[in-house]
Amino acid sequence: MNSNRIHKKGMAGRQIGLFLIGCFLLLAGGARAEEQKYVMSLSSDWRVAGDLPEKALLLSLQGVVNREKPQLYFLYPKDWDFKFSAPLLKYYETSRGMHFQTLSTVDEAVHLLGRKARGYVVWDPKAPTTLVVAFTIAGLTHSLVVTEALIPLMRQYQLPLKADLRKKFRGKSDYEINRWAYQRFWKQCSRKYLVMLGGQRGKVMKPGIADFGVLKGAFFTNLSTDPADSQEYRLAKKIFSEMPPLSMIMGWHVYGKDSEAQYVTLASHYALRVEGLHTLPNMSFNHQIPLSPGYKFHNHHNIQPNKRYIPQKKVYIAFIQTDCLGLGAWTEPGRGDIPYAWEVTMNWYWLAPAMLQFFYDEATPNDYFIGSLSGPGYMYPQAIPAKWRPLVIQKAYTLMKKLDLNAFETMEHSRYWQSDGVNDDLSRQVVSDYFKGMPGAIGFANGYRPAHTFAVQNGRPFLSFDYYLSEKRDEKEAVADLQELANLNAKRPYFLLVHVREWSDIERVKRILNQLGQDFQLVPLDVFFKLAGTEPTFKTRFAGEY
């Protein structure tokens, strides 16, 4: 009996064991299914009359399905502004163990994932601004955006029609269409995010950021921020004014309608932060991938604590690559060969943490990160109302500390189009606010093209760019420009801060550097700031003091 009982017990034990193993396998299988992600390559055709309708559908699908969890990722073509969608995918696979199933066609994507949508919105390629409105509706109703030609695909999956924007907007102005959308949808939309769906317009649109706007239920617009376009400007201003300070304006201004300077100025007037571009890819996915457990951001600092940095009679030169990480040179050859400073898009800390970790993990000892740009996002210091400026600086400084950054960069273009591009400078009060609000910053860089604000406080310099290295500038002439600056600024040491435009690669910078002569010495930016703070040979100057 006993033995029988024991045997029975053993049998029961084995059955329970098998049951548990089965459960484990099922759960594991389920977990694998949970982790199933999809990747699809996008082509270079973004023409309204070409592949844009399919791309718009895919971007709305991405925004809708990634609401549930991050599961759809796109590989962008080589000519896309942001170059990192492929290396970042690889990084996710290796560092996060993600598995991606490749999708080849729109039909396949809709077949596998379309059931997560609650309907569809039809836009009209003959009135391309209806696409902007369609994305707003898609975000509010969890829908896909389609043109007439794609309606049969929606019907195939029995998705209901949520809105039809065909025909009714033909011949209407952007103002009329945006006003209509504002009156109907603005109240339901997020106040923390707005998408300026600008960039190219007319025959081509590249709405790479649309998935994120759909994810967040944001209002999409393409209004002009040029005060001369008074109707559109007034509506844009009204919308911006109804967002709380420090909210996010994702996307970019509309080329040919207004200027970057006007766009960022208007946003800064309401202490809103611009996060470009309209082509920023996969943000609905990247937004949801956390840092590795226990991960801390570590910058490659070059200064030693308690060491005194005494400059010699030399021309000290430092390079800062601007215009956002991942545009241009980061993925090009030469990175790591020479000391180089990179603007960090600091909001990625919370907007796309793992994506920012990817850049920190990839950085070489010669890649030194700095905070930017004027605030926690792209802003113009002179345009930010004085009552909000301390908060803006404090928020930026908090991000700097989290990202192990001890240098900061400002850019001021709020008078750019009125001053014929002369006045890129900061007032004494604004400079003082940065010194005060960022006590741990060892130095500040200012400008885009050369600017003329210079100051120093307790060994911490505030220096403007003295040279803008365009990717198109003839190399021999660039060498002559830099040598001429060294001749004009005859005192030694001379501190020559160079802004390298994003599309210049480091090999080109090295070739220029090698022709400058022995008087020049390249140093890492943090060392540059320390040397400049020790012996500031520049003249203190603020906005308007020419």
Partner 1 sequence: MKKIPILWVILFLVGLLGMSCSPNRSSIFGRWTFRPEKSTDLVTWRYRTPEVVIRKEQQGLSIVWHWMRRKKIAFTDSVELVPNGTPVHVPVTSPIWPENWYMGVLSKLNTQRTFSGRWLKPEKRLTVQKEQRVTISQGETTITTRYTYDVSNGGNTLTITEKRSSRPTPITYIFVREAK
Structure tokens at 510: 């090295």
Q: Which residues of 42-57 are buried (b: 16+ CB within 10 A; e: fewer)?
A: beeebbbeebbbbbbb
CB of 488 to partner 1, least distance (A): 5
CB of 231 to partner 1, least distance (A): 25
Stretch that binds partner 1, among 19-27, 115-123, 377-385, 535-543 (CB under 8 A): 535-543
Should residue 528 be labelled a site residue for partner 1 when binding is judged by CB under 8 A?
Answer: no
CB of 412 to partner 1, least distance (A): 15
Q: Which is nearer to partner 1, 427 or 483 (CB)?
A: 483
Q: Which is nearer to partner 1, 78 or 491 (CB)?
A: 491
CB of 374 to partner 1, least distance (A): 19
Should residue 314 be labelled a site residue for partner 1 when binding is judged by CB under 8 A?
Answer: no
Give the burial class of 517: count Cβ atoms within 10 A of its Cβ; 0-12 exposed, 13-18 middle, 19 or more buried: exposed
Q: Are 337 and 505 in contact (CB under 8 A)?
A: no
Any residues with CB less than 8 A from the CB of 37 and at least 6 apart, and which?
Answer: 70, 71, 72, 73, 98, 99, 100, 101
Q: Are 278 and 209 in contact (CB under 8 A)?
A: yes
Should residue 41 be labelled a site residue for partner 1 when binding is judged by CB under 8 A?
Answer: no
Q: Which is nearer to partner 1, 454 or 529 (CB)?
A: 454
Strands 340-345 and 367-372: parallel
Residues 154-173 that bind partner 1 (CB under 8 A): none
Should residue 519 be labelled a site residue for partner 1 when binding is judged by CB under 8 A?
Answer: no
Q: Are 198 and 252 in contact (CB under 8 A)?
A: yes
Q: Which is nearer to partner 1, 217 or 493 (CB)?
A: 493
CB of 513 to partner 1, least distance (A): 16
Should residue 529 be labelled a site residue for partner 1 when binding is judged by CB under 8 A?
Answer: no
CB-side exposure of 388: number of CA atoms within 13 Å?
22
Type of residue found at 245: P
Count of residues interacting with partner 1 (CB under 8 A): 36
Q: Which is nearer to partner 1, 107 or 477 (CB)?
A: 477
Should residue 292 be labelled a site residue for partner 1 when binding is judged by CB under 8 A?
Answer: no
Give the C-alpha distances (Å, rounded to integers) separating 45 from 56, 84, 196, 497. 12, 19, 21, 39
Single out the residue of 385, 498, 402 nearest to residue 450, CA to CA: 498
Should residue 420 be labelled a site residue for partner 1 when binding is judged by CB under 8 A?
Answer: yes
Three-state SS sequence of 79-101: CCCECCHHHHHHHHHHHHCCEEE
Q: Which is nearer to partner 1, 435 or 468 (CB)?
A: 468
Stretch that binds partner 1, among 58-66, 264-272, 357-365, 534-542 (CB under 8 A): 534-542
Q: Which is nearer to partner 1, 149 or 422 (CB)?
A: 422
CB of 483 to partner 1, least distance (A): 5
Q: In whole angstroms, what is the distance from residue 135 CA to residue 140 CA?
A: 9
The H or E element that residue 41 is part of is strand 36-41
* SS3 of residue 189 by DSSP: coil
Residues 54-73 that bind partner 1 (CB under 8 A): none
Type of residue found at 406: N
Q: Which is nearer to partner 1, 206 or 501 (CB)?
A: 501
CB of 396 to partner 1, least distance (A): 25
CB of 474 to partner 1, least distance (A): 4
CB of 66 to partner 1, least distance (A): 41
Q: Which residues of 394-415 are buried (b: 16+ CB within 10 A; e: fewer)?
A: ebbbebbeebebbbbbbbbbbb
Query: What are the DSSP calls for 333-346, one per residue?
Result: TTTTSS-EEEEEET
Q: In whole angstroms, what is the distance from residue 22 CA to residue 20 CA?
A: 5
Query: What are the DSSP calls for 365-409, one per residue?
Result: TTEEEEEESEESEE--TTTS-TTTHHHHHHHHHHHHHHTT--EEE
Should residue 502 be labelled a site residue for partner 1 when binding is judged by CB under 8 A?
Answer: no
Stretch that binds partner 1, among 79-87, 164-172, 318-326, 538-546 (CB under 8 A): 538-546
Should residue 422 be labelled a site residue for partner 1 when binding is judged by CB under 8 A?
Answer: yes
Mark 470-499 with x for binding to partner 1 (rule: CB under 8 A) and - for no binding: x--xx-xx--xx-xxx-xxxxx--xx----
Single out the residue of 150, 163, 139, 49 nearest to residue 109, CA to CA: 150
CB of 427 to partner 1, least distance (A): 17
CB of 333 to partner 1, least distance (A): 24
Q: Which is nearer to partner 1, 186 or 468 (CB)?
A: 468
Should residue 538 be labelled a site residue for partner 1 when binding is judged by CB under 8 A?
Answer: yes
Type of residue found at 144: L
Q: In whole angstroms, what is the distance from residue 371 CA to residue 346 CA?
A: 6
CB of 316 to partner 1, least distance (A): 12
Here the contacts of 330-334 (C-beta below 8 Å, separation 24 or greater) are 330/83, 330/84, 330/359, 330/362, 331/83, 331/84, 331/87, 332/505, 332/506, 332/507, 333/505, 333/506, 333/507, 334/505, 334/506, 334/507, 334/509, 334/510
Q: Which is nearer to partner 1, 348 or 495 (CB)?
A: 495
Single out the residue of 331, 264, 312 nearest to residue 80, CA to CA: 331
Should residue 316 be labelled a site residue for partner 1 when binding is judged by CB under 8 A?
Answer: no
How many Å from the N-terminal Cα to the C-terminal Cα in the chain?
Answer: 105
CB of 421 to partner 1, least distance (A): 5
CB of 371 to partner 1, least distance (A): 23
Q: Which is nearer to partner 1, 25 or 422 (CB)?
A: 422
Mark 445-474 with x for binding to partner 1 (rule: CB under 8 A) and - for no binding: ----xxxx-x--------xxxxxxxx--xx
Residues 351-410 that bind partner 1 (CB under 8 A): none
Question: Which residues contact partner 1 (rule: CB under 8 A)?
Answer: 420-422, 449-452, 454, 463-470, 473-474, 476-477, 480-481, 483-485, 487-491, 494-495, 537-539, 546
